[in-house]
Amino acid sequence: MKKIAEPTVRRLSLYLRFLEDFEKAGRSTISSGELARSGGTTSAQVRKDLSFFGSFGKRGIGYSTHDLTAHIREILGLDRVWHVVIVGAGRIGSAMAGYYGLRERGFHVVAIFDADPRRVGQALDDLTIADVRHLEADVRRLHAHIAVLAVPSDQAQGVAARLAKAGVRAILDFSTAPLTLPEHVTVRRMNVPLELEALSHALAAR
């Protein structure tokens, strides 16, 4: 399967949510127009997005909700289980450990790490906070695919490099430092200060 452009992936995630709602409501087919309205886009865009992976729709009938759901789940890699480790058991890391609905999408948090000896060994939900000194060994043992990086920004590069070396190829990064990592590691960022600055710019620019 080939990699799809980022904005398309984002729309597929949104379509999936609407499809799941439609499926729950007992709807067996859905039109590109309905998907477009839900996603705030156009029918043409929906058809273009979905045409990437073959043709599903039937003219005048629409898409099979069930088939389209299954196909998008496959494209998004949601047809399997991903092992997720969290590094940093502060407030953000703890929030991620208990994030509602991740497990049912196949994202299983298998470990959480911290450097603070007062935190290591403490229980967090059904996990025990592990010592970040054992990061590499634990990542390999647990076959972690994805890491959530929730450490102070001045430690982010060091931890990210260790994760990459241990075989992690996908990082969700809450730090604000720039990361330099091998090409094959995909990083998505959740940068709170940057988003707030985009908001303060919008307010200031009126």
Residues in touch with a second copy (CB under 8 A): 1-4, 6, 9-10, 12-14, 17, 38-40, 74-78, 80, 82, 84, 90-92, 94-96, 98-102, 105-107, 145-146, 152, 169-172, 176, 178, 186, 188, 190, 192-206
What letter represents residue 25's amino acid?
A: A
Tell me the two tokens of residue 163. 């994760």
Question: From the CB of 201, what's the least distance to a second copy, in Å?
Answer: 5
Residue number with CB closer to a second copy (67 or 197): 197
Cβ nearer to a second copy, comparing 1 with 59: 1
Decide whether 3 or 59 has the Cβ nearer to a second copy: 3
3-state secondary structure of 113: strand
- HSE-CB for 5 with a 13 A CA cutoff: 6
The smaller minimum CB distance to a second copy, of residues 78 and 120, is found at 78
Q: How far is the CB of 83 from a second copy (least distance, A)?
A: 11
139-161 in b/e form (b: 16+ CB < 10 A) is beeeebbbbbbbbeeebbbebbe
| Total residues belonging to the chain | 206
Least distance (Å) from a second copy to the CB of residue 130?
A: 19
Task: With H, G, I as helix, E, B as strand and everything else as coil, classify residue 173.
Answer: strand
State in angstroms the smallest separation of the CB of 134 from a second copy. 23
In this structure, are residues 163 and 139 in contact, taking their beta carbons and an 8 Å threshold?
Answer: yes
Of the pair 9, 61, the CB lying nearest a second copy is at: 9
Helices 43-51 and 6-24: crossing angle in degrees, nearest 10, is 100
Decide: 174 and 149 in contact? Cβ < 8 Å. yes
Least distance to a second copy, CB of residue 193, Å:
6
